[in-house]
Structure 1
Amino acid sequence: MSSKKTATLNLRIDPLLKEAAREAALLERRSLANMIEVLIRKHCEELGIPIPEQKSLFKEESGE
């Protein structure tokens, strides 16, 4: 398993598909990157492909 919290993914898609994803993200108040992550997770779940959850992508502040 990777020790990285995030990974970069560069891809080329149809500009109309990108715009549709951007509109969907705006409707759900998400970033485009988060919208794509949500769609991938949903599709993998439908196919029965497990994806382990990370506790947090951000460092937790101590002292709270």
Structure 2
Amino acid sequence: MANAKTATLSFRIKPELKEALRVAADQEHRSIANMIEVTILQYCRQNAVAIVDERTPSAERPKK
């Protein structure tokens, strides 16, 4: 699978949550960005949230 372009995301969180994220990322040998990505993917899988690949033709995408 070819890597798609990434999108920039900017948000604010409490300092203690940022530190917990940093610790979790270090424990998993991941960057903070990758830890967030993995966490979101895991949440989506566990909660049946579809992740639509923008390169997928619209006729093949799940209906909203």
Scaled by the length of structure 1, what TM-score is found? 0.71
- Write out the 4+ residue segments of structure 1 that deviate beyond 4 Å after TM superposition: none
Taking only the aligned residue pairs, the percentage that are identical comes to: 54
Give 1:18's aligned amino acid.
Answer: K
Give 1:35's aligned amino acid.
Answer: M
Superposition pairs for residues 1-64 of structure 1, below 5 Å? 5-52=5-52
- The structural deviation recorded for 1:52 is 4.7
Q: How many residues align?
A: 50
RMSD: 1.5
Q: Which runs of 5+ in 1 are unaligned?
A: 54-64
Q: Which runs of 5+ in 2 are unaligned?
A: 54-64
For residue 22 of structure 2, give the secondary structure of its aligned residue in structure 1: helix
Q: Write out per-residue CA displacement over residues 8-59 of structure 1, whole angstroms, 9 at most, x where no aligned residue.
A: 0000001100100100000010000000000111111111012256xxxxxx
